[in-house]
Amino acid sequence: MTTASNGGRTRLLSPSTMGRSNRSRVLQLLLQNGPTSRAELARSLGVNRATIATILQPLIEDGRLVEGEAVAASPAGGKPARPLWFNSQGEELGSVRISSTRLTAARLSMDGTIRVAGQRTIDPSWPLPRISEHLLDLATECFDGRRLLGIGVAAAGMVDTTTGTILSLHLAPVMNGFAVADLLSSRFATSVSVDHHPRVLALGDRWFGLGRGVDHFASVYTGEALGMGIVHAGEVFRGSHGAGGEYGHIVVDLRGATCLCGRRGCWETVATVGWLRARALERGLPGGAEASCTSLAALAADGHDGARELLAEYADNLAIGLANNEHMLASQTYIMHGDVVGGGELVRSMLAERLAATAPHRDEPPTVVLDTSDEDTVLLGGGGLVLSSELATSY
């Protein structure tokens, strides 16, 4: 019997919810494998063709999927197959990323191809109306006059996913209470879904990136801030109204430095580029004030022992939070984004080694991979957020 939790109660999944979940599996398989026939989808998912037809027919009737030219039958005979794919002339997906210093937007095709993208630099000292004006200007540049299935927003800070509001953004308090969904939906007359940046990153990996076909993984963002989005049993893990997910603020040192959130010893205080640069300056490393994993890895490659030692310490600090998650949720695969990717194989191997040493010992150690597409995955995640909320799963 399949059930779901609803405010502490347990209830049966409705037929519509089960249908959306099945639709999600089919759409993700298409994105993973490319144009695919009904028969191939049925074989891959272990169901009969009638079941696949029931799932696909609404998407074909509304023009979101189209049938390609018939492919010749195999030598063994049979009816020629007509592979299904996303309609290139149909609706598009809107994507927005909001951080304390930058706004980014893109318009995507249903298969995740970025057709148009742009950005605006903002200042966290600006009043909110000025930031809103820049956001609308950028969104108009990307979305105006287009048929959008919806707009997905990746927002830094704490969010309320039911109202589409940024609740709190430590690096730009002016955006506390920013009703992003209301602003964009009133301008573009389409649905707008807002979620926490690391979770949208995980959706980018899940729908279009390194997490396709993986039911359990974590997407980790490193940079000025630290975040982690969890995909557990094929779904992005979130609390009520989008609560939780503030992994950068799990406490790793009760006597550690004070975090921007006001707590002491948050993981973010020892595993961001701010910490990295402070330590590089203390140790007199070349370019310490602008240090990054990229610059330190280059120094290490030239034989600078101090740079290698600092990167090893940074990997230790990052592994603390990953190992804690491995003890709790056993995500097993960690897709790294942001600054740490610039460290290349040197930092990846350091992180994998330290995570394997501190995580529970199972048959296979956790896997650490680097996503080199950087900003694109977040924008793809905005598209994945639209697909999840409008077509695929109960959001």
Whether pLDDT at 286 is above 50 = yes
- The structure tokens 């210093």 sit at 101
**Contact assessment for residue 208 and residue 380, using Cβ atoms and an 8 Å cutoff:** yes
**Contact assessment for residue 386 and residue 149, using Cβ atoms and an 8 Å cutoff:** yes
**Contact assessment for residue 292 and residue 303, using Cβ atoms and an 8 Å cutoff:** no
Neighbour-count burial of 74, counting CB atoms closer than 10 A to its CB (0-12 exposed, 13-18 middle, 19+ buried): exposed
For the segment 198-223, the average pLDDT, to the nearest whole number, is: 93
pLDDT in tens, 97-148: 999 999 999 999 988 999 999 999 999 999 999 999 999 999 999 999 999 9
How confident is residue 16, by pLDDT bands cut at 50, 70 and 90?
Answer: low
For the segment 286-315, the average pLDDT, to the nearest whole number, is: 96
Whether pLDDT at 394 is above 80 = no
How far is it, in rounded angstroms, from Cα 280 to Cα 290? 9
Strand partners, 4: 11
**pLDDT value, residue 393:** 57
Report residue 195 as tokens: 């979620």
Between 260 and 78, the higher pLDDT residue: 260
pLDDT in tens, 308-350: 999 999 999 999 999 999 999 999 999 999 999 999 999 999 9
Q: Global pTM?
A: 0.86
**pLDDT value, residue 161:** 95
Mean pLDDT of the chain: 89
Report residue 175 as tokens: 């955006």
> Which helix H or strand E contains 158, and what residues bound it?
strand 158-160
**pLDDT value, residue 7:** 45
pLDDT in tens, 217-267: 999 999 988 999 999 988 888 888 888 888 999 999 999 999 988 899 999
How confident is residue 12, by pLDDT bands cut at 50, 70 and 90?
Answer: low
